[in-house]
Every structure is written in C-alpha cells, then in structure tokens.
Amino acid sequence: MSKLQNSFSILLLLLHVLSCVAYAAPFNISTINFTKGFTPLFGEPNIIPSSDDRSVRLHLNQYTGSGFKSSDLYNHGFFSAKIKLPSEYTAGIVVAFYTTNGDIFRKTHDELDFEFLGNIRGKAWRFQTNMYGNGSTNRGREERYYLWFDPSKDFHRYSILWTTNNIIFYIDDVPIREIVRNDAMGADFPSKPMALYATIWDASDWATSGGKYRANYKYAPFVAEFTDLVLHGCATEPLEEVVAASCSDRDASVDFASITPKQKMAMKKFREKYIYYSYCYDTLRYPVPPPECVIDPMGQQRYKNTGRLKFDEKHHHRRFKKRGQVMGARSYRNQVDV
C-alpha cells in the first residue's frame, strides 16, 4: 500500500470514529456538579457525593431511603442523568427520576416521571413513565415497558424534555415516548415551574408484579448511582407571573425538541417491542380515551381492555431471554438500525 493510500485509509478511519463519537453524544449539553445544582431531599446520611462532585450515590437500607432535588425550579427544560440501578435482588425497590412542583402546589401539582419498578434476577427489568398536570392524579397517563438491557450493569442516560408544546422521554439517544399538547388537554399538560428529583425508596406494596415480590433487606444497602447530571432550562421563581426576558422568547429546551427520522424509527421499534401497558388502550379506566391519545386500530387489536398487551408474560420472558443472549454485547442502536 502506498503512503498516499495509507494516509487516505487513516483519514477515513478518523472520520468514521469522529462520526461515531458525534452520534453517541447527540445532545450538546453541559453537566453540572452535584452540590452546585442539587440539595438533599430526605435521608441525607444515605446521599453520598463522589470526591469530584460529578456523581452521587443514593442508598436505601432498612431504616430509610434517600433523595435529592434541584436547587432551582425551571420553566420548561431538558433534564438528564446517567443512572446505574441497584443490582442483585431489587424487588419492591423503586428508583425514580422525575420533575415535579408538588412541594409548592400540593393540590395542583405537575409531574413527569421515570420510575424503575424493582427486579428479580433473570427477569426483564420493568419501568414506567407518567405525566400529571394541575393535580390530575385521577387521570394518570402511565405507560409501562420492558428494558432491552440490564440497567444495573452499566450507566445509561435517561432524559426528560419538557416544552410548551411537547414532552419527550429519552433513554440514551432513543426517544421512547412523546406527548404532544393539544387544546383539549387544558391544564392536564404541565405548565407550572418544576424541579428535578431523584429518589430511592421501598414500594413493596405495588412496585414488582403488583406487590407479589417485596423488598428483602438481606441485600441492603440498595444503591442507585447518578452521574453527568443536566439541568438545562429557565430557572425561575415558582410564583412569578412574568418569565425572565432571557427565557420568554423561546423555551430553553427547544434545541432538543425535534426528533430525527432515524430517532422516530427507533421510537416506533421500541414501542412495538417493549411497551406492555398503555393508558390510551385501557378502556376500563378510560371508556373515552384522553384527548392526546391517537388510537391505532391495528394497535388496538394487540391490547386487552385493561390496556395490557395480549400475550403471555412467560412467553415474552422467553423471547426476551433469548434476545438478550444475542444482544448482550451490542447496543440497542444496532438493534433498531439507528
């Protein structure tokens, strides 16, 4: 091979590496040190920041869980963290990563949730997302899913985008759910400033298989790790009627509000394979679907009137296990051709 050919090959390899790096970090975001952006919520002795202040561990033992919250509230934003969940037997243990203003607006609070629902080794991890607006807790908008990886083995980025027009939940660079606001939703769409929260706690009564499997403290302490925390938005006072001029022209989060065609395809494939409950198809709970729901007749055939998919859980677990043996060393990006 000539020197020119060799140089050209090296250049191609470098360009390929650079393109992969750029894709691996699609959000051009800066992180914030833990003590600069957050304060303890409860269980302070069980909140352990790293020596470089870039990460934090939340512990749960038989005495207490723990949690932290952002020091500021935000008028819309992009909120994100890389999280590694507790390992071993974690049934009944909920790790939550969410935005809310419930401390201030107790009866009319808004909320956006990631909730990880505990796990028994060998089973697929489950989690849910949810949205409440203006205290609409009787109109929860839960969706539940299986994860395509073991979240206790490595860090993965979980992100919540909240703008005036839409809400997007991300895992790594895959959007898994989008809620688009329409006028019929009214105040059910979150509109008041919210803070970012993270907690670990015992939810044995409901979290894992409806409370069938409970927390076992011989495996304690249960540890959730958070790093590369992101608070990107308009910090504001919760009762201010006028948003700061620097934030009034556009949402601070608008840079992340668009989904590329490849991401749309990834979201479609995720939802086809891993969602197992959707409130939009729960006709027992909502005889008339909430106004933001887009009912797909083909999709409707897949669900029972309880909003759960019409498949046997054991069969799904066998498929997941077999698929996991193949996917263990490759990313979901390859799975969905993103």
The CA distance from 60 to 43, in Å, is 9
CA-nearest of 265, 263, 273, 266 to 323 is: 273
Residue 111 annotated to the active site: yes
The CA distance from 147 to 153, in Å, is 13
Residue 86's φ and ψ, nearest 5 degrees, are -60, 150
Catalytic residue among 88, 111, 237, 241: 111
**111 neighbors 121 (Cβ within 8 angstroms):** no
Catalytic residue among 44, 88, 115, 237: 115
Residue 44 annotated to the active site: no
Q: How many CA atoms lie within 13 A of 274 on its CB side?
A: 28
Handedness of CA 91, 93, 97, 103 (dihedral sign): positive
**Residue 156 DSSP SS3:** strand
Write out the E strands in the chain. Answer: 38-42, 47-49, 55-60, 66-70, 73-84, 93-100, 111-116, 126-132, 143-146, 156-162, 166-171, 174-180, 195-202, 222-236, 275-282, 306-308
As annotated, the active-site residues are 111, 115
